[in-house]
């Protein structure tokens, strides 16, 4: 399947990845190839087969009890913040 340029640009934008015209073309071709490869799956007859939702069909979703077992680790949480301000992360101003 071939991917058009506009769709490729849109995907890049949604993923917040900046690409110049040449890079867009490269990515378009590569993603088209991936999609084409995945389309092989369409050849499998899945009529009447329920959609697979995980690799383990026998294990139930593990659940935990409602207890506070984490937190109070502000420094760990903020350790990778590029522009920490006291107890906060900061980002360039986003105002609606």
DSSP 3-state of 31: helix
DSSP 3-state of 35: helix
Cβ atoms within 10 Å, residue 49: 8
Please, what is the minimum distance in Å from the beta carbon of residue 87 to other proteins? 4
Please, what is the minimum distance in Å from the beta carbon of residue 75 to other proteins? 9
> Which residue among 22, 44, 59, 82 contacts other proteins (CB under 8 A)?
59
Please, what is the minimum distance in Å from the beta carbon of residue 52 to other proteins? 10
Spatial separation of the C-alpha atoms in residues 15 and 18, rounded to whole Å = 9
> Which residue among 20, 43, 45, 96 contacts other proteins (CB under 8 A)?
96
């Amino acid at each position: 399947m071939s991917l058009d340029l506009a769709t490729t640009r849109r995907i890049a934008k949604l993923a917040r990845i900046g690409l110049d015209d040449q890079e867009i073309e490269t990515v378009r071709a590569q993603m088209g190839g991936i999609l084409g490869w995945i389309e092989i799956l369409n050849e499998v007859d899945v009529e009447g087969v329920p959609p697979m939702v995980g690799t383990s069909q026998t294990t139930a979703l593990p659940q935990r009890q409602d207890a506070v077992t984490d937190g109070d680790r502000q420094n760990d949480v903020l350790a990778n913040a590029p522009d920490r301000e006291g107890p906060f992360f900061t980002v360039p101003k986003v105002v609606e």
